[in-house]
A and B are shown apart, each in its own frame.
Chain A
């Protein structure tokens, strides 16, 4: 079937699916069935190639930063923005960008792919660049073991045709550099003093002092303040304001800067790059700030022990009312073991105002064993959210939530706050 015809057909299905409120992946699924080469045909024709972003934590935020930075440098960027990071999600996203004549108007594609999907994707479409952020225990019920996940990421790196961008300070990721066949490498990292903020799985329960590798990094995160950060970029110190919150988002920014500079090389307009970075907002639910009656509600997505621990370390609970919502749907992971690998004692003094989600009582029990007081437990997310908002009308609020809990909370809040719709 000619591509143009598949495109028109797909666009029609997409339109119909939208009318009936269907999911974003369905039209992509149908297009893939009819024309399995649909995605690769278009992506292989891009002049700057394909960038794959993978790893356990930070994919969505980092992808968003790279896309906006590249746009600032004048490139037309195709991305899978809906967070539907499976290949049929990419097909669906492509449908929106291809014109009726079958032309994709883009210079480069930046795609967020989870480890398991990335492996199959790179077999079909070898990316020109890959950015590998970190590997930590996440959804072991899906991936089995961390070593296995690291193997998947190594495969992504080995299928890359030009340059692999790696986290210097994540040992399992830095080691990927040893097993490449001829690809170039670039690295990003954090200053020695900040490494304690990024506890890996190997020092979950003991405080082995972390050390930097000797590897030279293109961009090093030097310092993080509440609304600014400083980086060392090619040995030069650069300070900038940041709207991205949390030390982990600042490290994601370092990863994104490294990636963009690797792609554009000496054509990078660094002044513009830093100026654009300062204006980038967090991705939805990833440290995103909503405003209700003049008071902020910060959403912090937590989905694995390292992410939760980073969140607790990054955001002070003082002067905030805290809510935690833990679901165990498939997309969250059914296994609740991970909650026991998070140390909640930083909440000892402030306590937690509201606990919710399908596993609200597991969370409550967890807090109880860390002597963290809590006010109310209600597994019904909408009721809990209403209660939380009513009880703390004049406070800044922070909600730690798993993926599906975040979607529900955001949907409820979008009616009464400035939350942008998820495209």
Chain B
């Protein structure tokens, strides 16, 4: 039988990687293998040729300096990403890239940094930093467990739905009690942790969408997630 390849595109692996978001790639890779697919990781950095054949796109958080480095390039590839998003390519963008997948980021000093508008969200830089363990609840994914560390506060427009409702922590902003945003199969969120190791339902959602889009159907095998369950159980009890 021919190997079924799934290509994972790691967006800006050099400049947007400081919060352990690498774990998300690792989890997708290992779970794809356990499901019988052959994962291929493509690293994309500013100036590279954009691999339009990507099946799953993942991007992480960076420092402000890292975001400045990639912003121009992101605007350039924005239309290609938009096309993939519209056609159902699953994507996971965390923190800094979540913000830049929105309409704009307005800094505390009033400077407006343009985003690529795949997600109907607006982000405003604020003086307080929202830091700590966070737990949200989602109809599709159950309890989502992670860690947030951001000073931008994000407000959702009509074109997206929240990823989860906040149970512990802050989330998108300090007033609305929502966390993250979804459009088509694109998920944006502030959760580090890394996100996917302790939230395998989201990993499986990304995998399932990618496989169905490419190969028509996904035969979901049972994976032993007992260790993940134990990690979730102990993490959920930790203070903010």
User: Which residues on A are within 8 Å of B, measured CB to CB?
Assistant: 137, 140-141, 144-147, 201-202, 204-206, 305, 328, 334-341, 358-362, 364-366, 368-370, 377, 379
29 pairs from A and B in contact (CB 8 Å cutoff): A140-B149, A144-B129, A146-B18, A147-B63, A205-B17, A206-B13, A206-B43, A305-B20, A334-B132, A334-B238, A335-B147, A337-B23, A338-B20, A341-B17, A341-B20, A358-B234, A359-B234, A360-B234, A362-B198, A362-B234, A364-B227, A364-B231, A365-B227, A365-B228, A366-B197, A368-B227, A369-B26, A370-B26, A377-B230
A207 CB, min distance to chain B CBs, angstroms: 12
B21, chain A: closest CB distance, angstroms: 8
Within 8 A of A (CB), among B190-228: 192-194, 197-198, 227-228
Distance in angstroms from A141 CB to nearest chain B CB is: 5
Given known pairs A335-B147, A358-B238, A369-B23, the reply for A146 and B63 (CB within 8 Å) is yes
- How far apart are B191's CB and chain A's nearest CB, in angstroms? 10
Instruction: Assess the A336–B234 pair: CB atoms within 8 A.
Output: no
B235 to A362, Cβ gap below 8 A? yes
Looking at the complex, which one of B133, B194, B239 makes contact with A340 (CB distance below 8 Å)? Answer: B194
Instruction: Say whether B156 faces chain A, with CB atoms less than 8 Å apart.
Output: no
Q: Mark B11-28, 1 if CB is under 8 A from A, else 0.
A: 001100111111100110
Once the chains bind, are A334 and B133 in contact (CB under 8 Å)? yes
Name B residues whose Cβ lies closer than 8 Å to a Cβ of A. Answer: 13-14, 17-23, 26-27, 30, 43, 63-65, 129, 131-133, 147, 149, 151, 192-194, 197-198, 227-228, 230-231, 233-235, 238-239
| Interchain Cβ contacts within 8 Å, total number | 101
Q: Are A340 and B197 in contact (CB under 8 A)?
A: yes
Q: Is the interface of A mostly helix, strand, loop or mixed?
A: helix
Bound Cα distance from A134 to B107, whole angstroms: 29
Q: Is A340 within 8 A of B14, CB to CB?
A: no
What is the CB-to-nearest-CB distance from A64 to chain B, in angstroms, rounded to a whole number? 30
Q: Which chain A residue has the least Cβ–Cβ distance from B240?
A: A334
A204–B194 Cα distance when bound, in Å, is: 15
Q: Select B193's contact among A145, A337, A369, beta carbons within 8 Å.
A: A337
- A360 CA to B237 CA in the complex, in Å? 13
Select the residue from A147, A336, A379 with max chain B CB neighbours within 10 A.
A336
Q: In the complex, A335→B198 CA distance in Å?
A: 13
Q: Which residues of A sit under 8 angstroms from B64, Cβ to Cβ? A: 145, 147
Cross-chain contact B194 with A337 (CB below 8 angstroms): yes
